[in-house]
Amino acid sequence: MSAQDVEIVAGYRPGALGRLVEMHGAYYAREWGFGAFFEAKVAAESAAYFQRYDTRTDCAWFVFRDSKVIGSMIIDGGEAGAAEAGGHLRWFILDDGCRGLGLGNDLMRRALEFCDARAFSRIYLTTFAGLDAARALYERHGFCLTGEKQDQTWGRDVTEQRFERPGLASSGAPRNM
């Protein structure tokens, strides 16, 4: 597969939400031993996101190959307190077969451009220690680790991490990525 074999689409498409949940549930169960708690959390939170989806503050990108979702990245700017917190990068995932094609960089570029165009004060995400390839991607795009804590918000003990990237509104300087 090559990057030319896929299409990145902004906005919701029928079936995309179910596939986002399925991909997260399957990957994190296989690789990290997460279970129903985590999959239900992704399902509930992503369903709530799409119920209040507003193109002024939110954007979802889905990667399609042969009409099947094989990746996603979400910016949630409509959460309670988002004006102070900034844009929340959520539910970034790529199928195993499409990693290493530059799709993560493409999705990240689109997400950051969206956030910068809306003058979010910052963009942030939460993840956990051990997702080294994703962490490298975040750091390449200007995110810095701002906090770590032991937590069970993922359904089991992990070292939860918060990464942030200042928005253009807070720095006033253009970014080269």
Query: At 176, is the pLDDT very low, low, confident or very high (cuts 50, 70, 90)?
Result: very low
Query: At 175, is the pLDDT very low, low, confident or very high (cuts 50, 70, 90)?
Result: very low
pLDDT over 90 percentage in the chain: 72
Mean pLDDT of the chain: 88
Ordered by start, the domain boundaries in the chain are 3-122
Q: Which of 45, 49, 9, 11 is nearest to 155 (CA)?
A: 45
pLDDT, tens digit, 9 for 90 and up, residues 128-144: 999 999 999 999 999 99
b/e code 147-163 from CB counts within 10 Å (16+ = b)? eeeeeeebbeebebbeb
Q: What is the pTM of this model?
A: 0.87
Q: Which residues pair with residue 159 across a beta bridge?
A: 150
Q: Residue 177: is its pLDDT beyond 60?
A: no
Residue 18: both structure tokens together: 């179910």
Residue 121, pLDDT score: 86
Task: For the domain made up of 3-122, give the CATH fold.
Answer: Aminopeptidase (3.40.630)
Q: Residue 174: is its pLDDT beyond 50?
A: no
pLDDT, tens digit, 9 for 90 and up, residues 84-100: 678 999 999 999 888 77
Query: At 173, is the pLDDT very low, low, confident or very high (cuts 50, 70, 90)?
Result: very low
DSSP readout, 113-159? HHHHHTT-SEEEEEEETT-HHHHHHHHHTT-EEEEEEEE-TTSS-EE
